[in-house]
Amino acid sequence: MIYTADKFGFYKVNDKKTYSKFEAFEWAKQNNSKIKWIYNDDIFSQYDWTVEPEIDLWELYKERARQIRNSYDYCVIWYSGGSDSHNILHAWLDAGCKIDEIATTWNYKTTGELYNHQNAEITHVVLPDIEKLKKSGYDFKFRLIEIPEISLKLFKDWGLNFEYYINFHPSINNPAKHLFREYIYDYKNMISQGKKVCFIWGKEKPNINFINKQYQFNFLDNADNCVGPLCQDNYYNGWYDEFFYWSPDCPLIPIKQSHIIKKFLNVCDIDNFYTNKVNNNGYNPRLNKYLTEEILKTLLYPKWSNSIYCNGKTATGFIFSERDEWFYQSKNPLVKKYHGIIETFTSKLEDKYIEQRTNLLPFYSKRYCLQ
């Protein structure tokens, strides 16, 4: 297993390296240079992406679960109820791996709402699933974290350096996930005792493009809602994270997933499996349409059903996310401070890096051709 912060990606401007996108912007502007985002290029480039791995995808998922389980003392599966983490949990169970802890976040204590954007999947999916597992005899800890408490503390602690610790998800909800290991005593205590505590994240579905009549895959820098710049800078503290899907320790997963999507796109022309909305799920040139999220999930995750409740992505973007409405609608003086930081942050960026003032646009790794 690779135990370095670089495995989660980094930015390069000439010969300088940073985990912070904002710092990379500053360097590039000073020197009129280009920014590159590097994601384990040295490892993924060793594989022939034009050849589909023979191993069954579900077997790959189980192998990955065992690989992680055997490498750490205590494993925390972050379970949102969405398809990515749902697949991890079921692969983990099917592989016969012991569950130490399942954890998730919500804001019910702060809002009193069970069905807002942050809490709906927890209410409809996570809590019933936890109850079923307990009744089935599985012995594990379930941790339900009230994220506003940590978000506010983190925001106060970071202060004016906030912009250096966000890369793609600037809302105050997402960066809080970086430092659960610092703010939750159980984790901090185990780490201080020398235990290898690992957080397992559902990153990420394939990013498939159709360029010059070829299907291509690349990684993107959207992982700072799991592992962000500050977390990477402090990785020497005995912190461990694993992206279940995008890992240099199991490169066959994104390769296999990409080929499954490519094969489907090459043969399936059922119109309602596609959408006119541009996305990176996969493009069908015969229909001039893109694969829907619902079909993508069923292709990649054998245990997933689209009858499972799904909240979808926030409609308001990641800068002012629906998940942070508890914050924006409050009278907390930090709201004004946050608006000021975001305004300063976005004003320093070129327009090409911002999508209608709602999202930061991602950076992409090198491309891997699938044919």
Structure tokens at 90: 């079921």
Q: What is the longest distance spanned by two Cα atoms in the chain?
A: 60
Average pLDDT for residues 131-149, to the nearest whole number? 97
Q: Which tens digits make up the pLDDT trace of 179-193?
A: 898 889 999 999 999
**3-class secondary structure per residue, the chain:** CCCCHHHHCEEEECCEEECCHHHHHHHHHHHCCCCEEECCHHHHCCCCCCCCCCCCHHHHHHHHHHHHHCCCCEEEEECCCCHHHHHHHHHHHHCCCCCCEEEEEECHHHHCCCCCCCCHHHHHHHHHHHHHHHHCCCCCEEEEEEHHHHHHHHHHHHHHHHHHHCCCCCCCCCHHHHHHHHHCHHHHHHHHCCCCEEEEECCCCCCEEEECCEEEECCECCCCCCCCHHHHHCHHHCCEEEECCCCCCCCHHHHHHHHHHHHHHHHCCCHHHEECCCCCCCEECCCCEEECHHHHHHHHCCCCCCCCCCCCCCCCCCCCCHHHHHHHCCCCCHHHHHHHHHHHHHHCCCHHHEECCCEECCCECCCEECC
Residue 314 resides in a domain: yes
Residue 25 resides in a domain: no
Is 352 a residue whose pLDDT tops 60? yes
Residue 321 resides in a domain: yes
Q: Is 71 exposed, middle or buried (0-12, 13-18, 19+ CB in 10 A)?
A: middle
pLDDT bin (cut points 50, 70, 90) of residue 34 is very high
Mean pLDDT of the residues in the chain? 93
Residue 132 belongs to what domain range?
44-369
Residue 11 resides in a domain: no
**pLDDT at residue 333, as a whole number:** 87
In this prediction the pTM is 0.96
Residue 238 resides in a domain: yes
Average pLDDT for residues 63-84, to the nearest whole number? 97
Sheet holding 197-201, edge to edge: 141-146, 101-106, 74-78, 197-201, 240-243
Residue 131 resides in a domain: yes
Residue 127 resides in a domain: yes
Total domains in the fold of the chain: 1
Q: Which tens digits make up the pLDDT trace of 323-340?
A: 889 998 888 888 888 888
Report the alpha-carbon distance of residue 345 to residue 339 in Å, rounded.
10
Residue 37 resides in a domain: no
pLDDT bin (cut points 50, 70, 90) of residue 348 is confident
Q: Which tens digits make up the pLDDT trace of 101-125?
A: 999 999 999 999 999 999 999 999 9
**pLDDT at residue 170, as a whole number:** 81
Report the alpha-carbon distance of residue 101 to residue 142 in Å, rounded.
6
**pLDDT at residue 96, as a whole number:** 98
Say which CATH number the domain at 325 has.
3.40.50
pLDDT bin (cut points 50, 70, 90) of residue 160 is low
Is 357 a residue whose pLDDT tops 60? no
**pLDDT at residue 356, as a whole number:** 59
pLDDT bin (cut points 50, 70, 90) of residue 321 is confident
Residue corresponding to tokens 């005899």: 137
Integer-rounded Cα radius of gyration of the chain? 20
149 alpha-carbon distance from chain centroid: 22
* Of 52-56, 143-147, 156-160, 274-278, minimum mean pLDDT range: 156-160
Q: Which tens digits make up the pLDDT trace of 80-97?
A: 999 999 999 999 999 999
Residue 66: HSE in the Cβ half-sphere, 13 Å Cα cutoff: 9
